[in-house]
Amino acid sequence: MKTLYSLLIVLALSGCAITRSPASDAAVTDVASTGLGIALGAAEANPIGLVTIPLKIALLAHAETLPDGEKQEAQTTLSAVWNGAAVNNVCAVAVIISGGAASLPCLLVGGAYGMWEYTSTKANQMQAEFAAMCIQARQETPGMKCFYKGQAL
């Protein structure tokens, strides 16, 4: 039981890690939740296993080099995928701890969360891009009114 508490503390503290972006946070959360699951006896479902850690670092570094727009798209996608995987991992840990055997719903919950995060983040990015375009257009046309989905900006 001490090991379980230690692992839960490590997982909780991983959320306090200072990272550069939500995608970095998601990578840390995915790795930490995977580690917790493995420590509790879950099998790693990813065929490349530990190779995912340097791969995540490389993908995050590459995303930073992309031009604006592409960079945010890459980070949004990475964040959604890795947070979806982390939700799946936490669900699998809950199944192990509770003694249940139904892990298929975990895949569905993780996938659904990843899709939800991607679409909600993408919507926020689109609104921010529109607001930036509006600010630029107002410099050329003072007094211009901008509306995004019926709301004045």
| CB atoms inside a 10 Å sphere around CB 43 | 7
Q: What percent of the chain has pLDDT over 70?
A: 84
Q: How confident is the model at residue 62 (pLDDT cuts 50, 70, 90)?
A: very high
What is the model's pLDDT at position 101?
A: 63
What is the model's pLDDT at position 153?
A: 65
Span 66-72, average pLDDT: 83
More confident of the two residues 30 and 102: 30
What's the CA gap between 65 and 39, in Å, rounded?
35
What is the model's pLDDT at position 140?
A: 87
pLDDT at 88 over 90: no
Span 49-72, average pLDDT: 87
Q: How confident is the model at residue 19 (pLDDT cuts 50, 70, 90)?
A: low
- CB 28, CB 16: distance < 8 Å: no
Q: How far is CA 64 from CA 8, 14, 99, 151, in A?
A: 31, 22, 42, 32
Span 44-72, average pLDDT: 86
